[in-house]
Structure 1
Amino acid sequence: MKPIYSSFSEAVKDIHDGATLMVGGFGLCGIPENLLLALVDKGVKDLTVISNNCGVDDWGLGLLLRNKQIKKMIGSYVGENKEFERQVLSGEIEVELVPQGTLAEKIRAGGAGIPAFYTPAGVGTPIAEGKEVRVFNGKEYLLEEAYQADFSLVRAQKADKMGNLIYNKTARNFNPMIAAAGTVTIAEVEALYEIGELDPAMVHTPSIYVQGLVVGAQEKRIERLTVKK
């Protein structure tokens, strides 16, 4: 059985200043929102964060950003956060933008123990500056190094007490690969089951990748509400 924390603050107690942190989710879908709120309360700072995006101005990673707790942001999309834009333009935060497919593969490779790989994405653009370029079958490819993190925070719909995780539909997004790429992975889950109650064929993240669990309800905000007139 994996540690089951009694609170979100206890779950993040070991995350320290200067840590490299991976955070699951896409927009606000599948983010470990309560763990992020606990980090805001903890006041940990100088974080390097690897995530697809930086939340919105008043939720998710956007809360850490607003508190100036993030030193460097590595991601692929920044369009929903005005404070992020402001900090980038003012030089208050270091940013590394990565093509989304490359970002996903850099995280996946880190979890698989693959130190680097070649990709055609970014050849001939500023992304290629300072990187090795090789030709395979007449086509140029960039060498991209894998990402790993001190801590990974993910969100799952279901978990058993061994730490096997099941994600809900599109909330699966970046969560499985991020779970694998953290030295310590903490999963925020909505429902906890006894060992043997989950169908093994439905498990997305095996327990070997998970070091701790915490259970709690989520607010589940809608990033952009679209309705018919």
Structure 2
Amino acid sequence: MAADKDRDGNESGAATARSFMALPGRAEDRREPFLGCVAEVVRILGLTVAPEPQPGGPPTWEHRARAALREACRRGMDLSGAAFDALVRAAVHDPDPSFNRQFVEPALNAFGRRRVQAALLGYLRTGTDPERAGAARAWYWSALPLRMPLVRAAEAGDGDSDRDSDGDSDVATVVTEWNEAALRAFVNNEHLDVRRCVLPGLALRRSAYPPALRDLVDAAVAIARSHPDEYIRHRVEHQIGD
């Protein structure tokens, strides 16, 4: 058991009331596809990755690439549409549910919440199973406040007109569509990573959905409670008890 923590590993206020098991690592090794995504981010953004101080493998290069992206965001940059696609793809394929924030946040600040969330919804609906799981991990960060004013879309009109507006009707529509798609994915998709990653963000109250979807909520709870995976069984009991 681990204290309830946010994605950065910091204890949240809820830790005094309950504890969550840590989200397990992915059932499949997705490191190689992810490194390809990072290399594409480096290429499209023109990042300068610090030279290797001593012999090391791909994880060492990955950490230096992440550092180069953080520094570029700090200095400020204008992002193209191709950069948006590369950043979202890297976020979806990132095996680390804390570090994937590094790819979500620049895209969010430059192009707006609606566009990022719509892209993640697309992965959830039509991606491969690893991409669906990754989209659910990345979705967590799509509600972040916008704190990178120097990261902007290169083309005028390419970003949302009001990037700070969480109450925008278009954003609300995407969130509603995500909630339905996530519920259906959990019930209908037996892939372990998909279910593990979708469940933490899933509302499991019947009242959170229109009448036509409420039987799916009951099905999701039943599936989670009887699932052979310990994390899923543990997590659902906390969520339905909130």
- Scaled to the shorter chain, the TM-score interval is under 0.3
Query: TM-score normalised to the size of structure 1?
Result: 0.26
Higher strand residue share: 1
Query: TM-score normalised to the size of structure 2?
Result: 0.25
- Determine which structure has greater relative contact order: mean sequence separation of CA pairs < 8 Å that are 6+ residues apart, divided by chain length: 1
